[in-house]
Structure 1
Amino acid sequence: MSVLSSYVPVTGTPHRDRGGASTVRGPRPHRSRTTVVCALCTVIATVLTACSTGEPTPLPVDPAAGSSTVPPESKPDGSGPVTPETLAQEITIGIDPLDGGFNPHLIARDSAFVQALADLVLPGAYTDGEPDPDLVESVEFVDPSAPGVAQTVRYQLNPAAQWSDGTPITGADFSYLRDAMVSTPGVIGAAGYEQISAIRTSGGGRTVDVDFRRRVADISGLFDHLLPSHLLRDMTDGFTTGLNEGIPAAGGRYTVDLVDRQRGVVTLVRNDRFWGTEPARTETLVFREVRSVQQGVQMLRSGQVGYLDITPVETTYDAFSLLPDTEVSVRERAAVLELTMSVTSPILSTAALRKEFAALVDRDLVARLATGRSTDLVIPETVLGAGPGVDSSGVGAGETPTENRTEDSGVSGPPDGPGGAGTGETTESGGVPVPPGPTLESAIRNRPLRVAADPSDRTATAAATTIVDLLARKGVDAEVVFAPFTEIAGELLPSGDADAVVGRRRTATDAVSVADRFLCPVAVDPTDVTASTAGRTNDVSSMSRARRLPMIRSGNLSGICSRKLDATLLSVLAGEVPLAEVLPELRGIEDGEVLTVPLLAETRIIVRGPGIVVPDRDIEEWAAHPGEATSLLSTAAGWTAEEEQK
Structure 2
Amino acid sequence: MCAAVASTAACTNTPPPPLVPKTEAPVITTTGPKVTEIVVGVDDVAGGYNPHALSAQSPITTALSSLLLPSPFRPGPDGAPQLDRNLMVSAKVTKADPFTVTYTIRKDASWSDSAPVAAEDFYYLWQRMRTEPGVVDPAGYRLINNVSAREGGKVVEVAFGKPFPGWRSLFANLLPAHLLKDAPGTWSNVLSTSFPATAGPFQVSSLDEQRGQVILERSDRYWEVPTTLDRVVIRRSTHRAMTEALSKGDNQAVLLRADASDVNLLKEIKDLTTKPVPRNEVVQVLLRPETEQLKDLKTRKAIIAALDRDALIASGTQSGPSATYRADSYVIPPSRSGYQATIQGNTLNPVAADQQLTEAGYAKNALTGIWEKAGKPLKLKIAAPEKVEPYVGIANRVKAQLAVRGIDSEVVTPNAEDLFSKQLVEKDVDIAVVPRVDAGDSAAGLASAYGCVVDPPDGGTPSPQNPAGFCDPAIQTDIDAALNGKVLLSDALARIEPQIQAQAVALPLFQVVDLLGVLPTMVSGVDTGAPLAGVLSQAPEWRRLDK
TM range (shorter): 0.7 to 0.9
* 1:298-325 Cα deviation digits (max 9, x unpaired): 1001111101111103311111112111
Letter in 2 for 1:392: G
Give 3-state SS (helix, strand or coil) of 2:61's partner. helix
* 2-structure distance, mates of 1:13, 1:456: 26
* 1:350-405 Cα deviation digits (max 9, x unpaired): 3321121122223344345556x3444524333445556x3412589xxxxxxxxx
What residue is the counterpart of 1:599 in the other structure? 509
Match of 1:359 among 305, 314, 322: 305
* 2-structure distance, mates of 1:302, 1:269: 24
What residue is the counterpart of 1:98 in the other structure? 45
1:451 aligns with 2:373: no
What residue is the counterpart of 1:552 in the other structure? 464
Give 3-state SS (helix, strand or coil) of 2:424's partner. helix
1:574 aligns with 2:484: yes
Structure 1 residues 346-355 or 357-366, which shifts more?
Answer: 357-366
What residue is the counterpart of 1:438 in the other structure? 361
Q: Is the 8 A contact 2:310 2:346 kept in 1?
A: no
Match of 2:450 among 518, 521, 532: 518
Q: CA RMSD in A?
A: 3.2
* 1:534-592 Cα deviation digits (max 9, x unpaired): xxxxxxxxxxxxxxx76623xx3222223453333222222221111111112112211
Match of 1:629 among 523, 532, 542: 532
Give 3-state SS (helix, strand or coil) of 2:147's partner. strand
* 2-structure distance, mates of 1:589, 1:484: 32
| CA deviation after TM superposition for structure 1 residue 469, in Å | 3.0
Q: Is the 8 A contact 2:273 2:519 kept in 1?
A: yes
Q: Is the 8 A contact 1:453 1:464 kept in 2?
A: yes
Letter in 2 for 1:333: R
What residue is the counterpart of 1:499 in the other structure? 430
* 2-structure distance, mates of 1:260, 1:159: 33
Q: 1:630 to 1:290 in 2, by over 3 A?
A: farther
Give 3-state SS (helix, strand or coil) of 1:280's partner. coil
Q: Is the 8 A contact 1:113 1:633 kept in 2?
A: no
Q: Is the 8 A contact 2:41 2:234 kept in 1?
A: yes
What residue is the counterpart of 1:291 in the other structure? 238
What residue is the counterpart of 1:143 in the other structure? 95
Q: Is the 8 A contact 2:306 2:348 kept in 1?
A: no
What residue is the counterpart of 1:406 in the other structure? none
1:643 aligns with 2:521: no
What residue is the counterpart of 1:266 in the other structure? 214
Letter in 2 for 1:243: L
Q: 1:442 to 1:585 in 2, by over 3 A?
A: farther
- Structure 2 unmatched ranges of 5 or more: 1-19, 332-338, 350-354, 364-370
Letter in 1 for 2:519: G
What residue is the counterpart of 1:322 in the other structure? 268
Give 3-state SS (helix, strand or coil) of 2:478's partner. helix
| CA deviation after TM superposition for structure 1 residue 517, in Å | 2.0
* 2-structure distance, mates of 1:365, 1:438: 29
Letter in 2 for 1:133: R
Q: Which runs of 4+ in 1 moved over 6 A?
A: 524-527
| CA deviation after TM superposition for structure 1 residue 289, in Å | 1.0
* 2-structure distance, mates of 1:566, 1:588: 14
What residue is the counterpart of 2:120 in the other structure? 172
Q: Is the 8 A contact 1:381 1:598 kept in 2?
A: yes
* 2-structure distance, mates of 1:487, 1:467: 21
| CA deviation after TM superposition for structure 1 residue 15, in Å | 5.5
Q: 1:394 to 1:133 in 2, by over 3 A?
A: farther
Percent identity of the aligned residues?
24
What residue is the counterpart of 1:393 in the other structure? 346
* 1-structure distance, mates of 2:22, 2:117: 32
What residue is the counterpart of 1:350 in the other structure? 296
* 1-structure distance, mates of 2:341, 2:298: 20
Q: Is the 8 A contact 1:395 1:597 kept in 2?
A: no
1:123 aligns with 2:67: no
| CA deviation after TM superposition for structure 1 residue 132, in Å | 1.4
Q: 1:43-58 alignment to 2 at 5 Å?
A: none
* 2-structure distance, mates of 1:234, 1:526: 23
| CA deviation after TM superposition for structure 1 residue 456, in Å | 4.3
Letter in 1 for 2:537: S
Q: Is the 8 A contact 2:133 2:425 kept in 1?
A: no
What residue is the counterpart of 2:84 in the other structure? 132
What residue is the counterpart of 1:110 in the other structure? 57
* 1:161-193 Cα deviation digits (max 9, x unpaired): 100011111111001111111111111121110
Give 3-state SS (helix, strand or coil) of 1:191's partner. coil
Letter in 1 for 2:430: D
* 2-structure distance, mates of 1:151, 1:608: 45
Match of 1:213 among 128, 152, 161: 161
* 1:36-86 Cα deviation digits (max 9, x unpaired): xxxxxxxxxxxxxxxxxxxxxxxxxx999xxxx98xxxxxxxxxxxxx9xx
What residue is the counterpart of 1:302 in the other structure? 248
Q: 1:340 to 1:244 in 2, by over 3 A?
A: same
* 1:403-433 Cα deviation digits (max 9, x unpaired): xxxxxxxxxxxxxxxxxxxxx99xxxxxxxx
Q: 1:205 to 1:335 in 2, by over 3 A?
A: same
| CA deviation after TM superposition for structure 1 residue 117, in Å | 1.6
| CA deviation after TM superposition for structure 1 residue 607, in Å | 0.6
| CA deviation after TM superposition for structure 1 residue 612, in Å | 4.0
Letter in 2 for 1:343: P
Letter in 1 for 2:120: A
Structure 1 residues 451-460 or 438-447, which shifts more?
Answer: 438-447
Letter in 2 for 1:436: E
* 2-structure distance, mates of 1:13, 1:328: 35
Give 3-state SS (helix, strand or coil) of 2:491's partner. helix
* 1:443-469 Cα deviation digits (max 9, x unpaired): 692673111122142321222122223
Give 3-state SS (helix, strand or coil) of 1:515's partner. helix
* 1-structure distance, mates of 2:361, 2:117: 56
Tell me the TM-score normalised to structure 2 length. 0.83
What residue is the counterpart of 1:488 in the other structure? 419
Structure 1 residues 471-480 or 601-610, which shifts more?
Answer: 471-480
Q: Is the 8 A contact 1:113 1:630 kept in 2?
A: no
Please identify the structure whose Cα radius of gyration is greater: 1
What residue is the counterpart of 2:399 in the other structure? 468
Letter in 1 for 2:279: R
* 2-structure distance, mates of 1:121, 1:375: 30
Letter in 2 for 1:225: N
Give 3-state SS (helix, strand or coil) of 1:465's partner. helix
Q: 1:471 to 1:13 in 2, by over 3 A?
A: farther
| CA deviation after TM superposition for structure 1 residue 525, in Å | 9.7
Letter in 2 for 1:552: P
| CA deviation after TM superposition for structure 1 residue 523, in Å | 5.3
Higher strand share: 2
* 2-structure distance, mates of 1:17, 1:640: 23
Give 3-state SS (helix, strand or coil) of 1:190's partner. coil
* 2-structure distance, mates of 1:575, 1:550: 24
Q: 1:19-98 alignment to 2 at 5 Å?
A: 89-98=36-45
Q: 1:259 to 1:600 in 2, by over 3 A?
A: same
Tell me the TM-score normalised to structure 1 length. 0.71
